[in-house]
Structures are given as C-alpha cells and as structure tokens.
Amino acid sequence: MPSVKITLVKGLVGTTERQRATVRTLGLRAIRQSVVRPDGPALRGALRSVSHLVKVEEVSQ
C-alpha cells in the first residue's frame, strides 16, 4: 500500500478550530514535524482541507 509523508510547514495561528483539529488528527504537533501515513481517500480529504499548511510527498516502502 502506498504511503505519504506529511510535513507541517506553517503554524496554526489564524486557522479555524476545524483545521487545527485536522492537523492534530494527522499527528502533527510542531512546525517541520513529519509523519508517514498510509494513503487513502479519507487521508486525501483531510489533506485537501489543510493543503495550505502541509507539504505532502509520496513515499515508497
């Protein structure tokens, strides 16, 4: 199954509570922190809602 590496590149000041909750759900707490998650439709939808705050890279395992 393909995976994606998600990195928080912008702070959460000025974002909505819903966007902050989405970032927390992805497992990101600090700027420049990265996590690897399995790719899927639910993850892509979450990433779309915070696309201006994160950087997404494909990871092959």
Model pTM score: 0.92
Q: What is the mean pLDDT of residues 21-27?
A: 97
pLDDT of residue 60: 83
pLDDT average, residue stretch 25-52 = 97
Which architecture, in CATH terms, is 3-59?
2-Layer Sandwich (3.30)
- Parallel, antiparallel, or unpaired for β 54-59 and 3-8? antiparallel
Of the candidates 29, 40, 47, 52, the residue with the CA atom closest to the CA atom of residue 3: 40
Instruction: Determine the straight-line distance between the first and last CA of the chain, rounded to whole angstroms.
Output: 8
